[in-house]
Chain A
Amino acid sequence: MFDIERWQEIFETLGKNKLQTFLTMVSVFSGVLILIILIGFSNGIQNGVKSQFEQDATNRIFIRTGVTTKEYKGLNSGRYIQMHNSDFEGINTKYEDQIEYKTGIYNIWGGQVTYKRENGNYRIEGAHPEQQFIENASMVAGRFINEDDVAESRKIAIIGNQIKQDLFKNEDAVGEMIQVFGINFKVVGVYSDPGGEREETRVFIPLPTAQQVFNGSDRIRSMAYTIKMSDNFDEAVGMSMALAKSFEDDIKTKYSIAPDDRSAVRVNNTLEEARKIYSLIDTIAAVFWFIGIGTIIAGVVGVGNIMLIVVKERTKEIGIRKALGALPSSIIGMILQEAIFITAIAGFSGLFLGVIALNIASPLIDSDFIKFPRVNFATSITIVMIIVIAGALAGYFPARRAANIRPIEALRDE
């Protein structure tokens, strides 16, 4: 393999068949390039979707109510189902063992928020302290809602990073007073959310405060939970689906809602959504690999084909070599090494260029669904191995044919 003579021979023969060599290399090269780019993009999609899910906890179950669409037990359709604190507490106690974080929510859609002369319309959300973990919010400054805030119905607010930038510019927000519909709230924290801008334009205040200030009494609009995760993803999805179903059934029973009424109670199970999307991504990745590998196979068959032609063209030469004492193994080695060499050079160039292309394209792609299209090291190694094995396969059959050339036939004068 490291015989310098052998390499000289290979370069000589490749130099002799420049066009063939070049065309073959192009086919392998483009195969690998396509594979790399497809894998890069499938990783990019994966990253993009993952970051979409990161805006909230992946194991979140969200419950909200609406208007009934079916008559049930003598009750009319068109009733608005209103949940109360007691519903929230009921679920908390009943499923305590399975619940990780919980919050009741009472929200106002467009709340006018003012700081000095700046103002804007933002969503105001009354929530419990654990909302922070359910929303995947992290604190940029100050703190989130705590139990005392809830117990004392304090008029404090936690604002999103975007609001802070809108209203406070470069000033410090923590400790300042803002007005929501003219009512003073003290800013105690600024949060950021992986979901980005849209998720950072909310003001969180303690749930009881919201209920009092906005005439909510003991009503809540929605509830959000996260469930305790099992290590096994499928098991976790199963648990989460079962739990979501229980929540739904409990509320339906309590408010006499038809079991098949889909509008009155809506339960959104992020984990289930996640599973669907992840399995979709897996399918996309599999399809991309399939296409890529298919292209490589086409390239490799090309290499095999070219090597067969090369062997045929060199029949006489191989006959001469054998007459001069070349061992069959040295003939096989020569053809095999040539095939692997062509495939490897073309493959590595494809790999290299693909990685560079992805690195260049990566910052230019501005999409929520494709982020950091890259190919990781392990994948690259796998591809390198595929290339080398493919090269060996491409060379094997032509090499065997070459070794079987009988010098007496090869040297026969026409």
Chain B
Amino acid sequence: MIEIQNLHKSYQMGSNSLHVLKGIDFSVKEGELVSIMGSSGSGKSTLLNILGMLDEADEGSYDLDGVLIKNLNEKIAAQYRNKFLGFIFQSFNLINYKNALDNVSMPLYYQGVKRSERTDKAMHYLEKVGLAQWAHHLPSELSGGQKQRVAIARALASDPKVLLADEPTGALDTKTSYEVMELIQGINDEGKTILVVTHEPDIAEMTKRIVNLKDGRIIDDTLVNQVKASTHV
């Protein structure tokens, strides 16, 4: 599904150049649930941004579902993001003046799906994350866990190849974090490929594979025995 070879990325910081990714080789097969771990400054967010086509690598190749991601202009990047990827953010990033249903329909709107069909689909995903009865509430009326579940429903709505989650539980308490992880595990069990960036070991334990990043290099990549979040709840 994801094939990365010799990825390099540096940022220009004034006169200094900061080498963030120093040659990453990494691949993810379909249906995997991978966590990317590392301390801050390890390059895990940069890696996720490149995977999410929000940023581009200086060197190396990135292949997503057989499509070489290179030299994207804004337009193509937007189309690819819409088609291939679903994003889940630490701070949810819901549009605060739109209700849950409209937030979930947003990617479908940019796909050009008709309104009635869009509403049906969005409702379906809201049901999936257990928030059907909250469909017409604004984000401000939802709890943190509920917001993140709306965000997950939104990420799923366009039926992407890969879900990219950047610290999805970073802003949540432990109990809610486990509930969200349970949902993510459930989605993965249905066959969706998911990448989770986290720095919490207990969250990483709930994925199937842990990739450890340090100073821009992968120092460890191991398959783990998945801890089902449901056992904690």
Number of interface residues of A (CB under 8 A): 26
Q: Residue B75 contacts which of A13, A324, A329, A406 (CB distance < 8 angstroms)?
A: A329
With A12-B97, A408-B49 known as contacts, the answer to whether A324 contacts B110 (CB < 8 A) is yes
B158 touches A325 (CB 8 A): yes
A325 touches B97 (CB 8 A): no
B107 touches A325 (CB 8 A): yes
Q: Does A320 contact B (CB under 8 A)?
A: yes
Q: Residue A408 contacts which of B55, B79, B95, B98 (CB distance < 8 angstroms)?
A: B55
Q: Does B83 contact A (CB under 8 A)?
A: yes
Q: How far is the CA of A283 from the CA of B90 in the complex (A)?
A: 64
Binary A-proximity of B43-55 (CB < 8 A = 1, otherwise 0): 0000001001011
* Nearest chain A CB to B122 CB, angstrom units: 13
* Nearest chain B CB to A108 CB, angstrom units: 85
Q: Does A317 contact B (CB under 8 A)?
A: yes
With A324-B154, A325-B78, A411-B89 known as contacts, the answer to whether A317 contacts B95 (CB < 8 A) is yes
Q: Does A146 contact B (CB under 8 A)?
A: no
Of all chain B residues, which has the CB nearest A5? B109
Q: Does A327 contact B (CB under 8 A)?
A: yes
B93 touches A325 (CB 8 A): no
Q: How far is the CA of A15 from the CA of B138 in the complex (A)?
A: 15
Q: Does B62 contact A (CB under 8 A)?
A: no
Q: How far is the CA of A321 from the CA of B98 in the complex (A)?
A: 13
Residues of A close to B75: CB separation below 8 A: 327-329
Q: Does A323 contact B (CB under 8 A)?
A: yes
Q: How far is the CA of A224 from the CA of B121 in the complex (A)?
A: 89
Q: Residue B93 contacts which of A329, A408, A411 (CB distance < 8 angstroms)?
A: A411
* Nearest chain B CB to A173 CB, angstrom units: 78
Q: Does A16 contact B (CB under 8 A)?
A: yes
Of all chain B residues, which has the CB nearest A408? B54
Q: Does A217 contact B (CB under 8 A)?
A: no
* Nearest chain B CB to A232 CB, angstrom units: 57
With A12-B98, A408-B55 known as contacts, the answer to whether A326 contacts B78 (CB < 8 A) is yes
Residues of B close to A13: CB separation below 8 A: 97
Residues of A close to B78: CB separation below 8 A: 322, 325-328
Q: What total of A-B pairs shows CB separation below 8 Å? A: 65
Residues of B close to A316: CB separation below 8 A: 93
B91 touches A327 (CB 8 A): no
A325 touches B54 (CB 8 A): no
Q: Residue B79 contacts which of A4, A323, A327 (CB distance < 8 angstroms)?
A: A327
With A5-B109, A407-B54, A408-B54 known as contacts, the answer to whether A324 contacts B97 (CB < 8 A) is no
Q: How far is the CA of A321 from the CA of B110 in the complex (A)?
A: 9
Residues of B close to A148: CB separation below 8 A: none
Which residues of chain A in 145-164 are interfacial with respect to chain B, using CB atoms and an 8 Å cutoff?
A: none
Q: Does A330 contact B (CB under 8 A)?
A: yes
A330 touches B81 (CB 8 A): no
Q: How far is the CA of A160 from the CA of B14 in the complex (A)?
A: 92
Q: How far is the CA of A403 from the CA of B89 in the complex (A)?
A: 21
Q: How far is the CA of A12 from the CA of B106 in the complex (A)?
A: 14
Binary B-proximity of A306-325 (CB < 8 A = 1, otherwise 0): 00000000001101111111
Q: Does B212 contact A (CB under 8 A)?
A: no
Q: How far is the CA of A320 from the CA of B49 in the complex (A)?
A: 14
Residues of B close to A406: CB separation below 8 A: 54
Q: Does A413 contact B (CB under 8 A)?
A: yes
* Nearest chain B CB to A310 CB, angstrom units: 13
With A407-B54, A411-B93 known as contacts, the answer to whether A325 contacts B98 (CB < 8 A) is no
With A320-B95, A408-B49, A408-B54 known as contacts, the answer to whether A325 contacts B111 (CB < 8 A) is yes
With A408-B54, A411-B93 known as contacts, the answer to whether A324 contacts B98 (CB < 8 A) is no
Which residues of chain B in 125-176 are interfacial with respect to chain A, using CB atoms and an 8 Å cutoff?
A: 154, 158
* Nearest chain B CB to A298 CB, angstrom units: 30
With A324-B82, A326-B78 known as contacts, the answer to whether A16 contacts B97 (CB < 8 A) is yes
* Nearest chain A CB to B77 CB, angstrom units: 9
Of all chain B residues, which has the CB nearest A8? B102
Residues of A close to B109: CB separation below 8 A: 5
A325 touches B82 (CB 8 A): yes
B89 touches A325 (CB 8 A): no
Q: How far is the CA of A330 from the CA of B106 in the complex (A)?
A: 13
Q: Does B70 contact A (CB under 8 A)?
A: no
Q: Does B220 contact A (CB under 8 A)?
A: no
B74 touches A324 (CB 8 A): no
Q: Does B115 contact A (CB under 8 A)?
A: yes
With A316-B93, A408-B54 known as contacts, the answer to whether A323 contacts B110 (CB < 8 A) is no
Q: How far is the CA of A316 from the CA of B94 in the complex (A)?
A: 10
A326 touches B110 (CB 8 A): yes
Residues of A close to B154: CB separation below 8 A: 324
Q: Does B178 contact A (CB under 8 A)?
A: no
Of all chain A residues, which has the CB nearest B157? A324
Q: Residue A325 contacts which of B83, B94, B115 (CB distance < 8 angstroms)?
A: B83
B54 touches A323 (CB 8 A): yes
Residues of A close to B94: CB separation below 8 A: 320
A328 touches B74 (CB 8 A): yes
Interchain residue pairs with CB less than 8 A apart (20): A12-B98, A15-B97, A16-B97, A321-B110, A323-B81, A324-B82, A324-B106, A325-B81, A325-B82, A325-B83, A325-B158, A327-B74, A327-B79, A330-B110, A406-B54, A407-B54, A408-B49, A408-B55, A413-B89, A413-B90
Q: Enumerate the 6 nearest inter-chain pairs by beta-carbon distance, A residue then B residue, closest first.
A: A325-B82, A408-B54, A325-B110, A324-B107, A328-B74, A320-B93
Interface residues of B (CB under 8 A from A): 49, 52, 54-55, 74-75, 78-79, 81-83, 87, 89-91, 93-95, 97-98, 106-107, 109-111, 115, 154, 158
Apart from the given pairs A321-B95, A324-B158, A327-B75, 5 other A-B contacts in the complex at a CB distance below 8 Å: A323-B54, A323-B81, A324-B81, A407-B54, A411-B93
